[in-house]
Amino acid sequence: MSNETDLARREADAPVQREQLARGAALVPAVDVVEDKSGVTVWADLPGVPKDKLEVKVQDGHLSIEAEAVIPTPSGLNVTHVEVRAPRYMRAFSISSDLDTSKVDASLQDGVLTLRIPRREAALPRRIEVKAG
């Protein structure tokens, strides 16, 4: 990954993350971050998380992902003892000012969250025409 963006650097002291950790222990989901000329793509593994239990926020230069998995219980089943708890996931990143956070595209499919964050128009590489004179 190039040095052009801080997205992949986890911010352990980010205010958003401190606030979320105060709500209880959370697992840190595995992520893949790929950067190209047009922007950044993030894939986060969130097994068992439905769309309504997923929250993605961009605030003050930080991207945060918070989710809660759901373990389905068959109807009519009376649970008397539970050892497996539905995990909570939480991850936060710094976002480079080169990225356009107003155009984030997010999708969740088969337990994988995909975020596409394009570069700002002014930050995109452009070709400069050189005139011979």
Confidence band for 24, pLDDT divided at 50, 70 and 90 = low
Domain region containing 91: 15-69+83-119
Mean pLDDT computed over 9-34: 66
At 45-76, the pLDDT tens digits run: 999 999 999 999 998 889 999 999 998 888 88
Asked if residue 67 lies in contact with residue 46, where contact means CB atoms within 8 angstroms, the answer is: yes
Asked if residue 31 lies in contact with residue 114, where contact means CB atoms within 8 angstroms, the answer is: no
Please list, residue by residue across 56-81, b when 16 or more beta carbons sit within 10 angstroms of its beta carbon and e when fewer do: bebeeebbbbbbbbeeeeeeeeeeee
CA distances (Å), origin 49, targets 52, 103, 123: 8, 23, 34
Q: Is residue 6 part of a domain?
A: no
At 71-120, the pLDDT tens digits run: 888 888 888 887 878 899 999 999 988 899 999 999 999 999 999 999 98
Q: Is residue 44 part of a domain?
A: yes
We report the CATH number of the domain holding residue 98 as: 2.60.40.790
pTM of the model: 0.73
pLDDT exceeds 80 at position 1? no
Q: Is residue 5 part of a domain?
A: no
Q: Is residue 2 part of a domain?
A: no
The pLDDT value given to residue 5: 43
- The total number of residues written for the chain in this structure: 133
CA distances (Å), origin 31, targets 6, 43, 46, 69: 15, 5, 9, 17
